[in-house]
């Protein structure tokens, strides 16, 4: 529901501001759809996964599971798989609705699929990192909540990198979410994204993954 | 039991009672704290074995080493010949565990939880049947967070039993329950034993241990203080007491000669004799031989409670002096 609400919002903003944005050659909706995708992945992977995981760990549920023949790693795997499916569904809805209902002119291909998967991996890894370092469910809530607003900003929710320019544009481009939004934007129009965006995303995935593994615990 | 390296002391395990679980010289530290210091005991097939001791004595650590949740620092544990660490996967099929602090996710229903756990095991019990026998079938569609303490404990027992285990480890099962719920839970544990399940029961309630356990180990400050039947432990602590008013004066010397008598106390007209064994019969017998009749006779067997206090109050253990 959340991505659809954003979609409608930006369609409305687009009708108020027709034409391209800041000389980018894109409409408001086209420019913001990658951001909407990134925000969807954030909501799914960075809020849902760590808070549930930290809760299950805190109440002893993971420990309880580890006394059965099925290890708790399966539970984590199942949760990640489920959330991954939800993220894929959100992508399909946003792109489909953007294309069909709101007339954005996307041509998605194999590159878009690849970039989407990488973006999901990167943002889910942030969630796993939060799950690893948070001592309690409460802490997971605070950490995820504290990270959310800066990340929403960097993803371009309020203002797109092309609109700000200068140093801030670079910071947004090379942030975990900005790089993902930029790579998604290019690939949604079947254009190969700049290699730096892909490299940035991959580097963040490795970095967050390392922290997540380093501080991981079941109890 | 071919994998057990060290023979079990004969007094602890007569040959006809095969030990199912053996713990030998178990040691576990958490940092500088010695939680379990050289604990040894064995659990026989089909018995309810109690692990008792004050809070922080090392009871939970000990059973968590048995269930494979924790790795011992040293010592040997064998559960039906298997090592809880090395053979974790095989062990989990037949050991059901109820943890001291093991909550379920708040929104899962009882039926979902039991069904989920049933799917984990190769040969589970029928969930409906199990819930029925535990008297919680009507809770099937209730969410875990809406249950009362006693109901949660029952669900916890159901989850420990759903895999049709041969061994059930129950940790502080009745803590926080009201007296009625406790009694009902006791009946459940006896039912579990009747299914042929060997039960390890961790508790700090002496009445519970006395009522349910065939044998028990008393752990304090990480060490074994007593290992025997509840009756023997209670008696060994000097528990039995007989109080009476003799019809004619009786000398201490005469009473002292009665077998089993440890001490004699006099207060007003009352004589109180403390000792072991069938004390009341022995005293009445001896008095009758002298033609003395005891009146207002009152006999009390030693309780595990007394023994517990006495055994855990003993000299400070060496590990405490070090810390």
**pLDDT tens-digit readout, B280-297:** 888 888 888 888 888 888
For chain B, the domains span 10-234, 240-300
Q: What is the pLDDT of residue B72?
A: 92
Write out the DSSP string of B61-130: HHHHHHTTSS--SEEEEEETTB-TTTTHHHHHHHEEEE-TT-PPPTT-BHHHHHHHHHHHSSSPPPHHHH
Q: What is the pLDDT of residue B66?
A: 93
Are A69 and B93 an interchain contact pair (Cβ–Cβ within 8 Å)?
A: yes
| A68 → closest Cβ in B92, B104, B105 | B92
Count up the domains in chain A and report the number: 1
Most confident of A11-20, A148-157, A195-204, B280-289: A195-204
Q: What is the pLDDT of residue A23?
A: 60
Residue B278 scores a pLDDT above 60: yes
- Each residue's pLDDT tens digit, B68-88: 889 999 999 999 989 998 888
Q: Please report whether residue A219 resides in a domain.
A: no
Please report, in angstroms and rounded to a whole number, the separation of the first and last CA atoms in chain B: 38
Range B240-300: architecture per CATH? 2-Layer Sandwich (3.30)
Best mutation site among B67, B101, B170 for testing chain A: the one with the most A CBs within 10 Å?
B101
- What average pLDDT does this structure show over B295-311? 78
| A63 → closest Cβ in B102, B117, B163 | B102
Same fold, B10-234 and B240-300: no
Q: Please report whether residue A62 resides in a domain.
A: yes
Domain B10-234 CATH assignment equals 3.40.50.300: yes
Q: Please report whether residue A15 resides in a domain.
A: yes
| pTM for this model (two decimals) | 0.75
- B272 within 8 A of B265, measured Cβ to Cβ: yes
Best mutation site among B84, B105, B144, B156 for testing chain A: the one with the most A CBs within 10 Å?
B105
For residue A72, give its domain range.
Answer: 2-214
Higher pLDDT, A119 or A160: A119
* Distance from the Cα of residue B284 to its chain's centroid: 34
- B290 within 8 A of B219, measured Cβ to Cβ: no
Are A55 and B105 an interchain contact pair (Cβ–Cβ within 8 Å)?
A: yes
- Interface predicted TM-score (ipTM) over 0.90: no
Are B92 and A67 an interchain contact pair (Cβ–Cβ within 8 Å)?
A: yes
Residue A40 scores a pLDDT above 60: yes
Are A69 and B95 an interchain contact pair (Cβ–Cβ within 8 Å)?
A: no
Q: Please report whether residue A8 resides in a domain.
A: yes
Q: Please report whether residue A122 resides in a domain.
A: yes
Residue A34 scores a pLDDT above 60: yes
pLDDT band at residue B13 using 50, 70 and 90 as cut-offs: very low
């Amino acid at each position: 529901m959340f991505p659809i609400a954003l979609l409608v919002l930006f369609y409305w903003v687009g009708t108020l501001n027709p034409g391209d944005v800041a000389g980018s050659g894109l409409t408001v909706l086209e420019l913001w759809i990658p951001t909407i995708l990134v925000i969807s992945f954030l909501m799914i992977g960075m809020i849902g996964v760590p808070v549930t995981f930290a809760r299950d760990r805190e109440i002893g549920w993971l420990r309880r599971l580890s006394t059965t023949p099925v290890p708790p790693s399966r539970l984590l795997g199942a949760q990640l798989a489920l959330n991954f499916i939800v993220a894929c569904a959100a992508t399909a809805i946003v792109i489909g609705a953007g294309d069909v209902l709101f007339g954005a002119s996307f041509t998605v291909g194999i590159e878009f699929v690849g970039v989407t998967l990488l973006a999901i991996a990167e943002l889910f890894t942030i969630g796993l990192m939060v799950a690893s370092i948070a001592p309690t469910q409460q802490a997971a809530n605070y950490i995820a909540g504290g990270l959310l607003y800066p990340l929403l900003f960097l993803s371009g929710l309020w203002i797109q990198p092309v609109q700000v320019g200068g140093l801030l544009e670079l910071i947004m481009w090379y942030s975990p979410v900005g790089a993902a939004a930029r790579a998604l934007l290019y690939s949604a129009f079947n254009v190969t994204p700049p290699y730096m965006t892909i490299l940035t995303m991959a580097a963040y995935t490795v970095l967050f993954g390392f922290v997540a593994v380093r501080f991981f615990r079941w109890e | 039991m071919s994998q057990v390296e060290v023979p079990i002391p004969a007094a602890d395990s007569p040959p006809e009672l095969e030990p199912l679980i053996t713990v030998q010289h178990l040691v576990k530290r958490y940092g500088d704290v010695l939680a379990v210091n050289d604990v040894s005991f064995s659990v026989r097939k089909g018995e309810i074995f109690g692990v008792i001791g004050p809070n922080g004595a090392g009871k939970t650590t000990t059973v968590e080493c048995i269930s494979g949740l924790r790795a011992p620092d040293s010592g040997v544990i064998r559960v039906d010949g298997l090592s809880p660490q090395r053979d974790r996967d095989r062990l989990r099929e037949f050991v059901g565990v109820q943890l001291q602090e093991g909550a379920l996710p708040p929104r899962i229903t009882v039926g979902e939880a039991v069904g989920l756990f049933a799917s984990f095991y190769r040969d589970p019990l029928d969930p409906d049947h199990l819930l029925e026998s535990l008297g919680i079938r009507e809770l099937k569609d209730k969410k875990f967070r809406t249950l009362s303490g006693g109901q949660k404990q029952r669900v916890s027992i159901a989850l420990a039993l759903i895999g049709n285990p041969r061994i059930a480890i129950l940790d502080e099962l009745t803590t926080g329950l009201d007296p009625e719920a406790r009694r009902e839970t006791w009946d459940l544990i006896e039912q579990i034993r009747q299914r042929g399940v060997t039960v390890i029961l961790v508790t700090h309630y002496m009445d519970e241990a006395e009522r349910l356990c065939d044998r028990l180990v008393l752990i304090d400050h990480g060490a074994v203080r007593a290992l025997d039947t509840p009756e023997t432990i209670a008696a060994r602590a000097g528990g039995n007491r007989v109080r009476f008013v003799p019809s004619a004066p009786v000398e201490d010397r005469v009473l002292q000669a009665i077998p089993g008598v440890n001490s004699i106390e006099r207060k007003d007209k009352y004589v109180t004799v403390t000792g072991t064994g069938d004390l009341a019969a022995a005293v009445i017998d001896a008095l009758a031989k002298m033609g003395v009749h005891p009146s207002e006779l009152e006999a009390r067997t030693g309780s595990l409670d007394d023994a517990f206090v006495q055994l855990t109050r003993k000299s400070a253990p060496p590990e405490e002096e070090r810390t």
